[in-house]
Amino acid sequence: MKKLLFVFLFSAGNLFAQKDIHIIPEPVSLTRNPGVFSLTPDVRISISATNPDLVRLGRFLSETLEKPTGYKIAVSDEKLIKTKRIIELKIDQTTFKVIGQEEGYSLEVSPQKVTVKAHTPAGIFYGIQSILQLLPKEIEANSPQKVSWKIPGVSISDYPRFGWRGAMLDVSRHFFPKEYVKKFIDQLARYKMNTFHWHLTDDQGWRIEIKSYPRLTSIGAWRVPRVGNWWDREPAQPEEAATYGGFYTQEDIREIVKYAQERNIQILPEIDVPGHSMAILAAYPEFSCEGGTFQVNAGSKFYKETENALCPSNEKVYEFLDKVFEEIAELFPHPYIHMGGDECYRGFWEKSAACQNLMKREHLKSSEELQSYFVKKVEKIIQSKGKKLIGWDEILEGGLAPDATVMSWRGTKGGIEAARQGHKVIMTPSEYVYLDLYQGDPAAEPVTYGMCRLKKSYSFEPVPGGVNEELVLGGQGNLWTESVPNTRHLEYMLYPRLLALSEVYWSQKSNKNWNHFVEKVENHFERLDEAEINYSRSAFDAIIRTLKDENDNIKIDMSTEVEGLDIHYTFDGTNPDSFYPKYQGRALDIPKNATVLKAVTYHNGKRTGKIITLTMQELRDRVGKYQFVTQYVDE
């Protein structure tokens, strides 16, 4: 029998799995010091009052501590503090030389003093996040808790591997209100992410106020209400009211941008064109090739049947985009604007006389080159606003715009090709980082598509062999929301895979350790409970696959992502627990006349996973299948 392997290892001078230390992402270097620092009301936060960033960060720490502790920790100038028990936040130019990264920090904890030093305010902010993770789990609570607030003695030197670390949230398929977007930003910041990619437009809704084109939100932000599986929903009926949706005003955007900046997060806005534009066409049908009447899609099939792309031969389209990107550039300080560029069906372009004439005039040989023509014009528009263009890897097709950055989602191939051409890339391959995919057995999960288990996310290496690492800016997790209708399920899909990706993009390769990470995840589940944030325990479920032997008989193989779990099962329809037969690692024969298999995991007699239930027909249907193939076409 395997034993649960929570390994205590040394790597690069870093002691893994200190019993009371579970920092995610794993620091570059961490050693344990004697004693603890007790957080009590008499402690002071020491800053230089002449530095406005330190004043802001001191207040941020004080306010964050006050909610769960009830203590009003004063923030004072370092020259005026008389007490010796302090939390010191200090900008130190020598720290940069020692750590070697703009976002790096050092953290020292002794019984008398906690000191965070960094070259930049960003480094101080991340040092604060590590302090919060060193405190008891109740630090995540939303009301005062009666706890002994102690920080273990440590010495930490830390900095990120990549400069781009983030997550994308799709608010088009389902709209999430302003206050929740802030909560989402808080979650990214806690795990040292620095980029929030905001997917603001798609076929199912336009979510940002554009004063030059008010119908984008008066019409494009609303669709008919529907539930049920995505793509199986009934289309809008004649005269049916479009009441589901919403949008962010420009004041909302400014408020959220400021909120993110205070947490060292930049917001990358995405306006997805030329495809995924049905919400635009519902508001302004004159930007299509064929014209007519369009409706904001509610989750029904339309691919190739209804036009959903802007017409590249219509000069008014570029006038429209010029004004849209002008307002976007004014709202978002991020150096990039994401133009989408993915999954554009070009069939209507191929039938358009105007598009064919444009192709002849510009000597374009294919519809791919026509899309490249569109992308290059959009790049010039974006550059005229003082920004740089980034797009999904389809912008490679037909020729890449001169200064574009590629976000590679269809595997790493697009990123490799863009880097080969000397372009910067963001690695977001769907099989590793798509947070809307199944993370456990589909028999026990809400309906979605594809498969991306926690261990798969954790195993991702952003720099493929043979690629210049300097061109890989980093990466992010992407949360599309076709199958994510509310915030509780959003969190279920986000956690714990966000934790895995935080280590992928921050931690050094030599400091990653799956078994140690699993131990930390269980600790952070308790923290998420305190914060009333939902999460998935699917990584602790049984993995069930079926095989055929040489006589064509079906056999059942079972395993787990997390090592050392016991799997108990039944074929008689009853619910198994730890007293039922235990899987011994050998493929099982199916008893004659059995109708259902049920399996559940335990560790040390305690249940850890959900009961997975599969009928014999479901088992036959998955013969030879272990993973589910990710769909790349939006239909």
Active site residues: 343
Token pair, residue 50, equals 């002449």
CB atoms inside a 10 Å sphere around CB 120: 18
Structural contact between residues 512 and 503, judged by C-beta atoms closer than 8 angstroms:
yes
Residues in Cβ contact with 203 at an 8 Å cutoff, skipping those fewer than 6 apart? 172, 276, 277, 278, 279, 296, 297, 302, 308
C-alpha closest to that of 74 among 108, 51, 122, 40: 40
Phi, psi at 547, each rounded to 5°: -130, 165
Rounded CA separation 397/217 (Å)? 31
Per DSSP, helices labelled H in 286-352 are: 315-331, 347-351
Rounded CA separation 348/302 (Å)? 13
Q: Pairing relation of β-strands 113-118 and 222-223?
A: unpaired
Rounded CA separation 539/518 (Å)? 9
Rounded CA separation 306/303 (Å)? 6
Rounded CA separation 145/148 (Å)? 9
Per DSSP, helices labelled H in 441-513 are: 454-458, 487-494, 497-506
CB atoms inside a 10 Å sphere around CB 301: 14
Rounded CA separation 193/323 (Å)? 31
Rounded CA separation 198/210 (Å)? 16
Bridge partner list, 201? 206
Alpha carbon dihedral 23, 24, 25, 28, in 10-degree steps, equals: 10
CA 187 to chain CA mean position, Å: 10
Helix, strand, coil percent values for the chain (each to nearest 5): 30, 25, 45
3-state secondary structure of 95: helix
Phi, psi at 469, each rounded to 5°: -60, -25
Distances (CA, A) of 129 to 97, 259, 477, 519: 22, 16, 20, 19
